[in-house]
Amino acid sequence: MSDHGGVRLATFNLLHGRSPADGVVCPDRLRAAVAELDADVLALQEVDHSQPRSGLVDQTALVADALGARDALFVPALVGTPGQRWRAAGADEEPRDEPTYGIGLVSRHPVARWVRIALGTSRATLPLLVDARRPALVRDEPRVALAAVLEPPAPVGTVVATHLAFTPGVNVLQLARLARAVEHLPGPVVILGDLNMPGAVPGALLRRWQTLVRTPTFPTERPRVQFDHVLAGAGTPPVRDARAVATAVSDHRALVVDLAA
C-alpha cells in the first residue's frame, strides 16, 4: 500500500482507455493514467477485455499491474462490443477469448471475497452525446455491481464498484436495489462508480448514505456535471482530501477520495 496515512479510494470511467484528444486507445496511456491516481482501491467502468478496439488487452489486469495491486476482478456486463453486436453476459459468466465489456475493481488491500450483484437492464434506446460532442442513439446495457469484502484491518469493510443505467428512473431503481443488496456486507461500506445521476441526486435518494465529494467530473476538458460518485455508509472514516483528476484517457475525470486511517 502507498503511504496516504489512511486509504485512497477512486472511481474512473475509462471510456475503454480512449483519449478524447485524438481518439487513440493506447495501453501505455492507460497505465500512466491510473498509476498517477495511486489508488489503494480503484473502481473501473466501461472496461474492455479482449476487445479489438483496445488491442485485445485485459484492461483490469493492466490497471492492477500499474498499481501493484494484490487483487483484481473484471465482471462482464455484456459479451460483444457496445454500439455493435452484443448480448447480456450471464450472471456468473467469466471472460473468455471473445470480447467482453463491463466493470472492474482493483485493490491493494487483500480481498476476502467477491460479491456480484445483478442490477437489471433498461430497454431504452436514447440519444446521448458521444464524447460530449455528437449525439447518437444508444441502447442501454445490462448493469452490474461488484463488491469486494476486504480483509481486516482495512480502513473500510467493503468497497463496491458499479455503473448504472443512463435511463432516468431506471438508475434510481438500480441504486436502491444496490443499497439493499450491500447493507448486510461488512461495514463500513463505500459505493464508487458512474451512477449517471447529477450532483446531489444520489445523496438525496439514499438518506442513510453520505456523499463524500461534490465536484463536476464530465466532460473531462471542462467538467460541468458530476456523474461519478463516492457514497459512504455509516462508520466510514473522515475524508482527508477529495478531488476530480483529469488524465490523458477518457471523457470522465477520475474521482479520488483520501480517507483517514
Which cell goes with 54? 483496445
- Does 5 have pLDDT greater than 80? no
Cα angle: 36, vertex 38, 43; to 5 degrees: 105
- Does 137 have pLDDT greater than 80? no
Instruction: Report the amino acid identity of residue 260.
Output: A
Determine the average pLDDT of the residues in 90-95.
Answer: 85
Mean pLDDT of the chain: 93
Radius of gyration of the chain (CA): 17
Residue 221 falls in which region: left (phi positive, over 0), alpha (psi -120 to 50) or beta: alpha
Please give the model's pTM, rounded to 2 decimal places.
0.94
What's the half-sphere exposure (Cβ side, CA atoms, 13 Å) at 146? 25
**Domains along the chain with CATH numbers:** 6-260 (3.60.10.10)
- Does 215 have pLDDT greater than 60? yes
Say if residues 241 and 217 touch (Cβ distance below 8 Å). no
* pLDDT, tens digit, 9 for 90 and up, residues 35-88: 999 999 999 999 999 999 999 999 999 999 999 999 999 999 999 999 889 999
